[in-house]
Amino acid sequence: MLNSLLDLPVMIMCFIFCIAIFIHVVKIWNDENKNIYKKIDEIVTGILLCALGGYYPLFTQKFGANLSGIVFHTLREELSILGIIGIVGVMLGICAWGISHKIKSIRHPELLKDVYNYDIFTERLLKEYKLVLKRKITHLLPFGVIGVIILIFAVLQFTPIFSNKWQNYSLFFIVILGMDFALTFLIGDLIRLFDYSYMPPSIGELFIKGLTPNEIDTFASTSIMVFGFAPFLLLEFPLFLIITLITSIGDGMASIFGIIATNKNFRHEFPKGSHKSVEGYIGGFLFTFLSVIFAGLFSNFFGFSDSSVWTINLLIILGLMLSLVTFFIDIITSKSIKLCDNYLNPLICGLVAMIFLMIMGVPF
């Protein structure tokens, strides 16, 4: 009972943000200037966040296991407390930061003309936007964060207090930082879409550098990407890492290959009239395949999976299969069904991978 109560703050926070998302959806539903696919993406964002709030206790239950904590009696209690501090505490701090700027705009209404003005924000974004590589480098961040966390706790395993539970801590810290990352972007999006006077100028500058013109009237694709691969962390780690790398690195490298081809005037558009290119498909296929291989070997090396089960032959077959899946998702979303592939890739690839692993008798 105590463990369930300790998880409530994070769950309630997710549900509150979910309600805010659906308020926005209802508010703009009759806006004829906004295409139906953006509206569907926003609904899916709300659903995935609501689901995350619902299954969040499963993280503390799984990673807490029956182990003792360092400070608290049980590891599950300790992880729940860390979740309150690391997720709820951080989000409350960000919200307080936003409120302080709202108060500033009330005290100095002249700032609404330039500093806290969303029209000026959008004008600058449209004027300064360029399809450059550094915008896509952020797709590499998820593995960077995951890799650093794993490495830190892999070193800590040689200390007495972490020796038998370093993997549990590392996986839960992935949950904490992943949720912080996604919810921070979501708060920024909600501020943009509801009341820009809450936006700290420094964060507004980051959004100008990171958003695309297509995202001005909707949520950035960053949060939904994390919400898309989050549930797979409840399964075996190699499956989660495979889905995460496909969604981040595979998709990111597809865009990078397309940008390079465009900059070199060597871009071959396909299908005609879309923003996709043959070079992008090649980059996406290649790095999706490599992501699967790397994720499996990485998991085996750090002891998160059994190398006799997650063999190189299994990974090659799975890699080729998921590379084809992402290729077809790219084709489908290029013109006809313009849904966000940042959630289609993890959800569809995850389902295909689970079916394949089930057929092969591999636990996941």
Residue 191 shares a structural domain with residue 241: no
Which is more confidently placed, 55 or 364? 55
Which is more confidently placed, 255 or 343? 343
Summary mean pLDDT of the chain = 91
Whether the predicted pLDDT of 1 surpasses 80: no
Q: Looking at residues 260-287, what average pLDDT do you find?
A: 76
pLDDT recorded at residue 129: 83
Q: Looking at residues 265-283, what average pLDDT do you find?
A: 75
Tally the domains of the chain. 2
Whether the predicted pLDDT of 117 surpasses 70: yes
CA 10 – CA 259 distance, rounded (Å): 39
Residue 171 shares a structural domain with residue 282: no
CB 45 within 8 A of CB 223: yes
Residue 143 shares a structural domain with residue 246: no
| Boundary of a domain, candidates 229, 247, 275 | 229
Residue 270 shares a structural domain with residue 124: no
What's this model's pTM, rounded to 2 decimal places? 0.92
Find all residues with CB under 8 Å of 34, minimum gap 6, and list them: 28, 217, 218
Q: Looking at residues 284-311, what average pLDDT do you find?
A: 95
Residue 220 shares a structural domain with residue 300: no
Residue 221 shares a structural domain with residue 121: yes
Q: Looking at residues 201-226, what average pLDDT do you find?
A: 90
pLDDT recorded at residue 55: 97
Whether the predicted pLDDT of 356 surpasses 70: yes
Q: Residue type for 56, please?
A: Y
pLDDT recorded at residue 134: 59
Residue found by looking up tokens 């084809």 in the block: 324
Whether the predicted pLDDT of 234 surpasses 90: yes
Q: Looking at residues 15-36, what average pLDDT do you find?
A: 92
pLDDT recorded at residue 31: 87
CA 21 – CA 11 distance, rounded (Å): 15
pLDDT recorded at residue 299: 97
CB 315 within 8 A of CB 292: yes
pLDDT recorded at residue 254: 77
Position 329 confidence tier, pLDDT thresholds 50, 70, 90: very high
Residue 270 shares a structural domain with residue 189: no
Whether the predicted pLDDT of 281 surpasses 70: yes
How many other C-beta atoms can be found within 10 angstroms of the C-beta atom of residue 309?
16
pLDDT recorded at residue 331: 87
Residue found by looking up tokens 């590589």 in the block: 133
Find all residues with CB under 8 Å of 334, minimum gap 6, and list them: 270, 271, 274, 275, 276
Lowest mean pLDDT segment, chosen from 90-104, 108-122, 251-265, 341-355: 251-265
Whether the predicted pLDDT of 168 surpasses 70: yes
Domain range for residue 239? Answer: 235-364
Burial (Cβ within 10 Å: 0-12, 13-18, ≥19) of residue 101 = buried
| Boundary of a domain, candidates 208, 229, 250 | 229
Residue 224 shares a structural domain with residue 266: no
Whether the predicted pLDDT of 92 surpasses 70: yes
Share above pLDDT 70 across residues of the chain, in percent, rounded to a whole number: 94
Q: Looking at residues 139-146, what average pLDDT do you find?
A: 83
Whether the predicted pLDDT of 271 surpasses 80: no
Burial (Cβ within 10 Å: 0-12, 13-18, ≥19) of residue 201 = exposed
pLDDT recorded at residue 91: 97
Residue 207 shares a structural domain with residue 255: no
Q: Looking at residues 144-152, what average pLDDT do you find?
A: 94
pLDDT recorded at residue 35: 87
Residue 95 shares a structural domain with residue 156: yes
| Boundary of a domain, candidates 229, 246, 274 | 229
CB 293 within 8 A of CB 323: no
Find all residues with CB under 8 Å of 353, minimum gap 6, and list them: 239, 242, 243, 318, 321, 322, 364
Residue 131 shares a structural domain with residue 152: yes
Q: Looking at residues 2-14, what average pLDDT do you find?
A: 89
Residue 75 shares a structural domain with residue 16: yes
pLDDT recorded at residue 137: 64
Whether the predicted pLDDT of 302 surpasses 70: yes
